[in-house]
Structure 1
Amino acid sequence: MGEQTPGGDEKTTKATKAAKAAPVKPKAAPVKKAAAKKVRAAAKKAAPAKAAAPVKKAGAPRTVEVRPPSGESRTALVRRARRINRELAEVYPYAHPELDFESPFQLIVATVLSAQTTDLRVNQTTPALFAKYPTPEDLAAANPEEVEEILRPTGFFRAKTKSVIGLSKALVEDFGGEVPGRLEDLVKLPGVGRKTAFVVLGNAFGRPGITVDTHFQRLVRRFGWTDETDPDKIEAAIGALFPKSDWTDLSHHVIWHGRRICHARKPACGACPIAPLCPAYGEGETDPEKAKKLLKYEKGGFPGQRLNPPQAYLDAGGRPAPPLGAG
């Protein structure tokens, strides 16, 4: 053992010398750390620029997700929605625009006038308007005060006068006095939005469109078809549930139902032919006899065959038409 001690001391001396030499490395370390700090700082400065460039998201087309009611798959929602439309088609086989018109020009003017009033009031007002101003050229050159006097019963008559005279001038100046048959042209006219444009396209030109008025907005949410509140998003969401060929008639069916049975304040749930398919059943009167008293009869028809007792439709002149299912 004694002979190994010097060797051990020699080894220890060498280790000590190596240990004393080791601290030389840490002196070089700060240089590397400083360099690393510079690299990290440069990376941080560069990072925000990369994060602030979601180019793909900005350029992506706008879509609306169809969110079925709780517990209902999208397939089930589509089937239920289309079945509701079929049921309503049987209840309202004569569904059509309830504004009286004989030309695309008369329809677009009447639709603009229908804002914040009833179709019945508009139909009582437009005969005098069109008798005095039968063409866009006539209305474009009209005295605003005279037009205001005719339109007074419709409410907001000054703004409506400005709109109908303005759109008439636009038709004359930009479209040769003819109502255009394209959405992008119609919405450029004064007082014409997408709702009015789709009414004109669907009923004057036979081009499918969804008319999102207040009745339509209320009912599609009650039906659980969408929970959107923006008209454009509602249009997109409902359009995704139905084939394009159904859009115009679908609008009529839903709007007619909203005017006659599924009212805003007190829907007649107990007299509703689609009650088994509606998740909002019970929001209104469910007693059948009491619900019948809430039904509204309007010019242009009322669902009678599916309700008891059956009622006759009324034609454009207010005369009884064949009951539902006749012919």
Structure 2
Amino acid sequence: MKAQRDVWGQTLVDLARSDNRVVLVDGDLATSTKADLFADAFPDRFFEIGIAEQNMVGVAFGLSTLGYRPWLSTFGVFLTHRALDPIRMLVSQTGAPVKIAASYAGLLNGSSGKTHQDIEDLAIMRAMPGMTVIAPADAAEAEAAIRWAAGYDGPVYLRLARDAVADVFDPGHAFNPGAVHVLREGSDAILVSTGVQTSRVMDAAELLTEQGLEVRVLHVPCLKPVDEAALLSALSGSAPIFTIEEHSIIGGLGGLVSELVTSTTLGKTVTRLGLADSWSESAPNAYLLDKYGLSAQRVAEQVRHALADD
């Protein structure tokens, strides 16, 4: 079990050894995001811009026009909010091969509070034309996604959590953009998750089994693009659908699933679990996950109560 930020730093160093086009543009947070691993290994390919996120994007875009494959590194919230305009104008609209490593996304940096916890990023980046949006479940999938993104000729937004979570996939897991993973079968409900929330959903499924309920668990690591046919197939049947994400219930995974379901004849209700149009706050991680209904116990409780009321 490793933190995704550690995996990102180590994998980028490994990629740079075999590809001298790989460069890193940092926003004064290298020790937090683990970009310092790259800085130590390749100081001549590491660009420290400081607390100037809009300039970071401009520098990365400029490097991409010279044939480099730049990665942006800072906290996700500073990229999807403070630097959104240059990402839109320089990266998305041109299709530049700039890779956005959005660290500390979601709630797992609890003490930083609502100023630094990005719970709107998936909605923002998913709406960006031409942007690939990835939220890996664990260390193995993060590594696979990083390696895939490094070879992809276009912009990528990669959501990375600060803290380690339980492993979902085995080492050597292959990343396929758009793939939908059925992690567990069950007929009482369908639980759909993305990012590191998936490990907690798997734990919630175990708790529900102990209570006599068997649920199907789907993991959607790539919110854009996604294999719509595969996702709709996995959502078929009579079981009710629940989306669970460490994100606002507006515009992210819940939005994606709801849009797909309402565009077909499935005729099913989607219950969205996550932050319900509210800001987060500063508190320990476990407290926040419990408060916003995202801990394994709270997910199981909400699903169980919803099924009992059905």
TM-score, structure 1 as length reference: 0.24
Q: Comparing both structures, which one devotes a greater share of its residues to strand?
A: 2
Kindly name which structure, 1 or 2, has the bigger radius of gyration based on alpha carbons. Answer: 1
